[in-house]
Amino acid sequence: MDIKAVFFDIDGTLVPFGDKDVPAEVKDAIATLRREGIKVFIATGRHISWIDNLGDTEVDGYVTVNGGMCTLPDKKTIIFGRCIDQGDIDRLIDAYPAIPLEFCVVPADGDIFISGFNDNARRIWDMLNVPAIPVRNLSEAKGKNIVQLMGFGDKKEWNDPTLYRDILKSCEATSWNPYFCDIVPKGSDKAAGIDEMLRYFDIDLSQTMAFGDGSNDLAMLRHCAVGIAMGNAEDQVKDVADYITDDVDKHGVINALRHFHLLD
């Protein structure tokens, strides 16, 4: 196979949930791919400022906030960005007191804050081991370039169609966990971010491979030439994958790369 670019989700794919570094064998595999001329990219729901669990792993770029912002390896050079419409943010600020959710606000500049911590938000922070962030009034989102929101509550609450019909009109929700959702501009997903990265590096979609485990990986696994689901992936992710490998903590990445002869 003429693979020129491989895209990896982080949590549950490259790194077991809660871990703070990539396993040594996976780091070595990524280095081998890059020596062979294959570009390696991260494709994650995290903002670039929250990518703190890759250790010293070197990659060729980052597709972040579920495709809403793409950066080069320096983590500063933005080659693509898509923000939530300011009208949506204004309506959310006005409606917030009556909405049974707390919102994490993710601006492009990384000045992330949360409207308040409920039980679900605490569960996610404990699970992902992400940096602590301040609690601020949601009104501080006004006028900022917001690339993503995270809504914390139960699935019925954050999946309420009226939220997207009446308030966040230009947005849609994606989630890989029942405790919260990522809220992004319509048309922003990992596949869209991948297309921007491929355009920048002049790589054809037919030369791509992607690894993932959660429902926010569905678009990229369908989109790339070869979509690989981890053994620990959700069933719906496995259903769309071209290949199902082993769990993240059972050499899943290594075994798949060997299966497709990208590693010896």
What residue spans define the domains of the chain? 5-81+188-259, 86-185
CA torsion sign for 107, 110, 113, 118 is positive
What single-letter amino acid sits at 201?
F
Whose CA is closest to 196, among 67, 110, 76?
67
pLDDT in single tens digits along all 264 residues of the chain? 799 999 999 999 999 987 889 999 999 999 999 999 999 999 999 999 999 999 999 999 999 999 999 999 999 999 999 999 999 999 999 999 999 999 999 999 999 999 999 999 999 888 877 778 999 999 999 999 999 999 999 989 988 999 999 999 999 998 888 899 999 999 899 999 999 999 999 999 999 999 999 999 999 999 999 999 999 999 999 999 999 999 999 999 999 999 999 998
Total-model pTM: 0.90
Q: Enumerate residues 6+ apart whose C-beta is below 8 A from 53.
A: 10, 11, 15, 19, 20, 21, 22, 129
* Per CATH, domain 86-185 is 3.30.1240.10: yes
pLDDT of the residue at 176: 80
pLDDT of the residue at 89: 98
Q: Is 220 exposed, middle or buried (0-12, 13-18, 19+ CB in 10 A)?
A: buried
* Per CATH, domain 5-81+188-259 is 3.40.190.10: no
